[in-house]
Amino acid sequence: MTTSPTSASTLGTPGKIIALHLNYPSRAAQRGRTPSQPSYFLKPASSLSSSGAPVERPAGCELLVFEGEIALVIGRRTRGVPPEDGWAAVSHVTAANDFGVYDLRHADKGSNLRSKGGDGFTPVGPALLSAQDLDPAALRIRTWVNGTLAQEDTTADLLFGFGRLVADLSQLITLEPGDLILTGTPAGSSVVVPGDTVEVEVDAPGAPGAPSTGRLVSPITAGSVPFQDFGAKPLVDDLQRTEAWGSAEAAGLAPASVAAPAFDLTAELKARINSVGTATLSAQLRKRGLNAVSIDGLGSTRPDARLVGRARTLRYIPAREDLFESHGGGYNAQKRAFDSLGTDDVLVIEARGELGTGTVGDILALRAQVRGAAGIVTDGGVRDLAAVTALSIPTYHAGPHPAVLGRRHVPWDTDLTIACGGASVQPGDVIVGDADGVLVIPPHLVEEVVAAAIVQEHEETFIAAMVAAGHGVDGLYPMNADWKARFRDWAKEQA
């Protein structure tokens, strides 16, 4: 028998509010990283509020962000339980909203105290659902902004199940009745402004009676009291705007799509490109005066696989501690580049030939593969080389290195002209790779170069047959007029 929901007003003041950083795969993909273990931060009990209570965007702040979440209410004193017993320590679940101002992240150094600990920044409710009636893997979380659905996900494939969270925390911390655990937010979190209304609901559509918390309503208001000089003041940059809004496009910092020359890399054209080797294509480019179009010094994780696609570009600049602090963390240029890849894209990375650290590892390479990208090309190092090699996506690189990006690089910007392995690469260039190496072909030359390369390889098939038959190469390679006439006769026979 299903227990009727209880009003969240019975909660009282929790001793602890513990919030999880990342738990939904959709959010992890958006952030460009998937943690191997859960990590947490604390919110003060004074941040708690109820449905209908206004949430104030502090004066001088630009980036107030909502995060719809499922909150667990601890029902009994709990210490040192295993994951299989963790859910039994939960008495209720309810809806929560983990509000934060990204303008103050710079002041927190990762603690989130000021950015997420403001009065009213943790509304919960309106109803509590009895945990004993619920399957923790069959809950749904939804968030609306001004009546439009902004977030929707389920607990079916969380990175860290609820029982595991309770067990992990209880290894060192005694959880007391009434403590709250906020269990992470799915993709879709974004910025709200005064006048907006945010609503969050948690329900169990498959359970008897489809129990629901009802909608947790949070109207957004504007603060009027400015921050004073005796503390850190609001500070934002384009990185914080991108993370707060969820993407550079949503923040108004980049066009919705990457501009590229009017050129269609059709399936038929890709097949024609794949019918000829990079050596032949290189020869045809050289005939047209293009000698600096090979990306040199790289090996492939998949030398047996062909690479054909359109260039997307990512630039790293030399490491500098203050610049890495502002551009290296969060949803940085590297993560945005991998997250925006699509079918037939090849991410080409300018790493200045620096071999003393990695420029991509297994998680981001997997992200590129899942997004349907054709390949990755970097003139720097690769971390997790065995794992990257096991993927189907080909990655061309200058060598392995175990160190993280920040040792030598700052991820700086995307989709601009870069240098990689001695070659200039522009977004939209055609990238072709095989066991011989990687070429950059300007889009306006692709049709011409490929057509000529197909003819060249047809001729070379004839030349090879003649050499195999015992003929010398003088006058045959390259062909003089007599051999060209014999080739034309041979070609007719082959037709």
Binding site annotation covers 384? yes
- Kindly compute the dihedral angle of the four CA atoms of residues 238, 239, 245, 248, in this order, to the nearest 10 degrees: 70
Binding site annotation covers 159? no
Angle, in degrees to the nearest 10, between helices 446-468 and 481-494:
100
Binding site annotation covers 364? yes
| Residue 402 neighbours by CB distance under 10 Å | 12
Return d(Cα 35, Cα 22) in angstroms, integer. 7
CB 57 within 8 A of CB 222: yes
Alpha carbon distances (Å) from 41 to 53, 176, 417: 24, 17, 40
Alpha carbon distances (Å) from 352 to 33, 47, 357, 368, 398: 24, 47, 12, 22, 11
Burial of 240 (C-beta count, 10 Å sphere; 0-12/13-18/19+): buried
Binding site annotation covers 383? yes
Q: Which two tokens stand for residue 135?
A: 């399957």
Sheet with strand 381-382: strands edge to edge: 358-360, 381-382, 399-400
CB 192 within 8 A of CB 145: yes
CB 273 within 8 A of CB 450: yes
Largest CA distance in the chain: 98
Those residues whose C-beta lies under 8 Å from the C-beta of residue 416, and which sit 6 or more positions away, are 313, 315, 427
Binding site annotation covers 74? no
∠ Cα 217 218 222 (to 5°)? 160
Tell me the backbone φ, ψ of residue 86, rounded to 5 degrees.
-65, -40
Total number of residues shown for the chain:
495
Sheet with strand 55-57: strands edge to edge: 55-57, 216-222, 197-203, 140-145, 148-154
Alpha helices in 278-413 (DSSP H): 278-287, 321-327, 333-339, 362-370, 385-390
Of 378, 405, 380, nearest in space to 32 by CA: 405
| Binding site, annotated residues for Mg(2+) | 384
| Binding site, annotated residues for substrate | 361-364, 383
| Binding site, annotated residues | 361-364, 383-384
